[in-house]
A and B are shown apart, each in its own frame.
Chain A
């Protein structure tokens, strides 16, 4: 079943930090999160493990 949000309630943290719910910090991030949650469901567990999570190209091409 698809998770509807992240484990971290970042919006609550943002509001606690003083950002208004409708401001330019929260609104775009909400849209991005909604898009990202759909993508997250596409992660195939059998792709793990991989090396270099944070570099775009595999070692073979370096």
Chain B
């Protein structure tokens, strides 16, 4: 069941929020020992919120599509009175005194918060193999990573532990677990969702967004989340659209760009074939598909790495005297960031503006760009390198190769399920849109989702 279906059942009085919440809590109780998707579960809080939601609905108060829906937050979102660790020893006992804007808005929309999902340490990585709190495991194969850094959110949504789980995305951390766990994962435009009260990794690359079972569920969540927040100066004044795609939405005439360079190089054959089938599907549904040459994505990724290394090291410099509290992989990244010259950081920001201009020019001719989300499926836990299209690569760099640059641009992007490889591991399709054109992006993604069944499959060991 997805959010739309659960909402219909709630309003028809065929199920209560308390029953939905109890079912999610049971799924967590049964599955979390295997997956380690949640760091903190708050059953009393959740059941109380569910009962309030039921009482309100019975009294005729309907807060909208998320009313009574059980959801979860990555443990990077500050929650009043509930431990928020950021997956780090630095914050292992941190209990915030306030709610972040995302938690406030989701509560105002009537959702029921189940707890906090597990993640890569400090959101600084793509495996969610956390040295302090243990690895999150992929529900499609528990020997493999779920992606990251929002790995717990991906695993939770894929297995029915939550109808939606929020993620943060600095270099792919919503879209990569979405692809690896077979969920939708939406990274909205930079500034579309307030970051007030979210523990930062990188202030100019961090984006907040939902992981959900369907594209329309992601749209419903964005509707509740989007909008200016005076407490976050980077949040946008741009008007909030109506994001929910219509039933039977058409992509006839949509201009779809398919990269002729970079995005299909060093890609597993199963991944490339699955994405190309989606391109053919889009054409079959009436989209105008054309091959396009994209700007230098390898260069854009390098710019992103310079910015991320620099800003993240600046954010965590205050903890320089607590080196033993960092895992090895994260500590290496902080050391690298501390060594980068300030001139490189400034020049990376100058180059960033040039790339934004180049991409805006590209998007003058297309509405959506379709690419793989990742060049491979999820790797085994503990592997640091991977063969991508026959070439051995560092896994962190490989897994973020298709997604990192979009954070540098600030453009919106979504990953949706688009197939499975020969071993039954999920594959993701990335769709990228123009700034603040989430409405069009979600409509295009929904049209493709409507014409496929991949999103309906669940992991065999968890109800599939």
- Report which A residues bind B (CB closer than 8 A): 6-8, 10, 13-14, 19, 24-25, 28-29, 32-33, 35-36, 38-40, 42-44, 47-48, 50, 53-58, 61-62
Contact = CB atoms under 8 A, between A and B. Distances in A.
22 contacts: A6-B344, A8-B341, A8-B342, A8-B343, A10-B340, A13-B339, A28-B336, A32-B302, A32-B306, A39-B302, A39-B351, A40-B344, A43-B351, A43-B354, A53-B346, A53-B353, A56-B407, A56-B408, A57-B410, A61-B236, A61-B435, A62-B238
Given A7-B341, A8-B343, A24-B332, A56 B356 contact: yes
Interface of B is mostly: helix
A39 to B, nearest CB: 5
Contacts of B298: 35
A55 B296 CA distance: 20
B293 interface: no
A49 B234 CA distance: 20
A24 B339 CA distance: 13
B350 A53 contact: yes
B137 interface: no
B204 A10 contact: no
Contacts, number: 96
A39 B299 contact: yes
Bin chain B's interface residue count: 35 or more
A43 B303 CA distance: 12
B161 to A, nearest CB: 33
A18 B64 CA distance: 58
Interface of B: 189-191, 203-205, 234, 236-238, 296, 298-299, 302-303, 305-306, 332, 335-336, 339-344, 346-354, 356, 394, 407-410, 435-436
A57 B190 contact: yes
A57 to B, nearest CB: 5
Contacts of A29: 336, 339-340
A55 B234 contact: yes
Contact of B302 (A14, A35, A43, A55): A35
B434 to A, nearest CB: 9
A7 B332 CA distance: 23
Contacts of A39: 296, 299, 302-303, 351
A47 B350 contact: yes
